[in-house]
Amino acid sequence: MSILQSFEEYQKARVKFVQAVAEGATRPQNIEVMNNAGVMQLLRPLLLDNVPSIQQTAALALGRLANYSEDLAEAVVGNEILPQLVYSLSDQNRFYKKAAAFVLRAVAKHSPDLSQAV
């Protein structure tokens, strides 16, 4: 396998992973398993990935998780994901901005404290 193929495989794996997490986050029975597997820590670096679709899908997954429960919304705040989410907002396309806004809404809706964190 050439080095270029290795990079292509790595990108495909990241895309596949983040899509699976975003899809899995739509099903309540998956949420606890994903949380126990450290999904927040795994999604966080993908917000700064060099592939825009990976960034957008990571934000979508985080929004779905935060939307699910107050505990997961607190985990988004506690894992310092919000600063990373907004870090490159001005450089992003409208799809990322829409996903980022979804995360912010999903976190803020649960309580006044979480709303203040946003």
Q: Report domain extents, the chain.
A: 3-117
Note whether 82 and 107 are within 8 A (CB): yes
- At 113 the pLDDT is 86
92-104 average pLDDT score: 92
pLDDT tens digits, residue range 34-91?
999 999 999 999 999 999 999 999 999 999 999 999 999 999 999 999 998 888 788 8
- At 89 the pLDDT is 83
Note whether 55 and 37 are within 8 A (CB): no
- At 112 the pLDDT is 86
3-state DSSP assignment of residue 15: helix
Whole-model pTM?
0.91
- At 92 the pLDDT is 85
When mean pLDDT is compared across 37-41, 54-58, 104-108, 113-117, the lowest value belongs to: 113-117
- Tell me, which fold does domain 3-117 have in CATH? Leucine-rich Repeat Variant (1.25.10)
pLDDT tens digits, residue range 12-49?
999 999 999 999 999 999 999 999 999 999 999 999 99
Note whether 106 and 117 are within 8 A (CB): no
